[in-house]
């Protein structure tokens, strides 16, 4: 009866100190951990020896990850947690309250967002990227990316950030402590923590301005006008600029994608159902950008975020292949129009039990899903 998106799930890793995990969106949200990076997260939890510190937006419907953390605590692992909450102490994700029952948890309770998604294991391994710990994130419904870095300098930078958050220094109360040009066997790594790092201007602007061949951006929200200007300039000098944007984010009144389209930049809006949730960039078979920061003013200047810039040709080329495969999956008509995020135009969005367009109506309660269903019944049943 319903058109189902083929499940395509891949794990891309390099056997060095920097590992890259990517997943294409699968057919529906899942309480099972159905992503390579989610399974690797459980593996890291299970193999931790002394400590796990993590800062996440929240947790929902991922009992295997929660159980692994509880088991780690029971075997004596020191676990500390930071999560987001609003001024009333509420979190967007329904199971976040479970963390308070088992662990030492801190939260910001302010209007800005603690939007990080990172873990630090034994003060030497960092797991970070765009994925939330949820049935749509680590469960696999959304498109996401995660990097794992085993490097003491990188881990120390994340511990510094975590300690500030854990000691109730959020957003602009923190001090600036970005880390640049850390050389490993295969990579050069720089790390920026919003809002103090001014991540775009300090860390990402130069790679956009100096791009020679291509800039590929798989992105959830894209509203930053400075980035828009620099992308237009890159396009004018002949750089192949392509963007894949989330369908719900395309409805945001501040989205810059229509302006970029008018300038000749190719922007496809996804029709997966699951979100285009990556917050990343690939440049010239040389650089990848990963982390929690959307390309927005709030992500750069207000929220608590982390962004990793990695110079590594192998990772860049593999991420490029992933991006181009996603590009092929999305119909070309969405170079010019925007699919409604909750309608049968967006595959599975009317049967996923998710409020994809944030209008407080889910699946057949949503007018566009209901309209399609009534037409289907009238014509075919």
CB of 203 closer than 8 Å to CB of 287: no
The single residue of 80, 115, 257, 277 carrying the catalytic annotation is 277
Distances (CA, A) of 250 to 134, 317, 327: 23, 27, 16
The single residue of 80, 174, 257, 279 carrying the catalytic annotation is 279
Pull the structure tokens for residue 205: 């602007």
Is 366 a residue of the active site? no
Among the listed residues 290, 373, 253, the one whose alpha carbon sits nearest the alpha carbon of residue 37: 290
Q: What are the φ/ψ torsions at residue 151 (nearest 5 degrees)?
A: -160, 130
Pull the structure tokens for residue 126: 């960092």
Is 257 a residue of the active site? no
The single residue of 84, 108, 230, 284 carrying the catalytic annotation is 284
> Which element (helix H / strand E) includes 160?
helix 152-166
Q: Which residues contact 225 (CB under 8 A, 6 or more apart)?
A: 256
CB of 217 closer than 8 Å to CB of 243: yes
| Distance of alpha carbon 375 from alpha carbon 367, whole angstroms | 12
Is 284 a residue of the active site? yes
Active site residues: 277, 279, 284
């Amino acid at each position: 009866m319903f058109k189902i998106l083929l499940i395509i799930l891949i794990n891309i890793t390099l056997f060095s100190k920097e590992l890259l995990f990517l997943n294409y969106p699968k057919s529906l949200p899942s309480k099972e951990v159905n992503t390579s990076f989610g399974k690797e997260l459980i593996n890291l939890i299970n193999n931790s020896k002394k400590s796990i510190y993590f800062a996440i937006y929240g947790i929902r419907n991922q009992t295997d990850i929660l159980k692994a953390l509880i088991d780690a605590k029971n075997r004596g692992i020191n676990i500390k947690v930071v999560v987001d909450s609003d001024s009333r102490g509420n979190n967007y994700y329904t199971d976040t309250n479970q963390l308070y029952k088992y662990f030492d948890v801190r939260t910001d309770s302010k209007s800005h967002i603690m939007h990080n998604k990172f873990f630090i294991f034994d003060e030497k391994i960092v797991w970070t990227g765009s994925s939330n710990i949820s049935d749509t994130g680590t469960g696999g419904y959304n498109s996401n990316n995660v990097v794992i870095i085993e490097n003491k300098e990188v881990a120390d930078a994340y511990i510094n950030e975590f300690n500030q958050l854990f000691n109730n220094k959020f957003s602009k109360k923190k001090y600036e402590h970005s880390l640049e040009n850390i050389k490993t066997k295969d990579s050069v790594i720089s790390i920026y923590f919003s809002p103090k790092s001014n991540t775009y201007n300090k860390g990402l602007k130069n790679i956009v301005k100096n791009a020679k061949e291509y800039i590929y951006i798989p992105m959830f929200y894209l509203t930053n006008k400075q980035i828009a200007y620099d992308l237009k300039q890159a396009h004018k000098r002949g750089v192949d600029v392509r963007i894949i944007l989330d369908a719900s984010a395309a409805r945001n009144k501040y989205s810059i994608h229509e302006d970029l389209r008018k300038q000749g930049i190719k922007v496809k809006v996804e029709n997966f159902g699951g979100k285009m949730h990556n917050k990343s960039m690939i440049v010239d078979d040389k650089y990848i950008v990963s982390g929690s920061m959307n390309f927005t003013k709030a992500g750069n200047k207000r929220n608590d975020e982390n962004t990793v810039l990695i110079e590594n040709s192998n990772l860049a080329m593999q991420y490029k292949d992933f991006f181009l495969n996603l590009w092929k999956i999305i119909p070309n008509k969405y170079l010019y129009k925007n699919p409604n995020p909750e309608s049968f135009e967006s595959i599975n969005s009317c049967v996923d039990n998710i409020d994809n367009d944030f209008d407080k109506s889910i699946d057949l309660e949503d007018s566009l899903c209901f309209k399609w269903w009534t037409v289907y019944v009238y014509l075919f049943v």
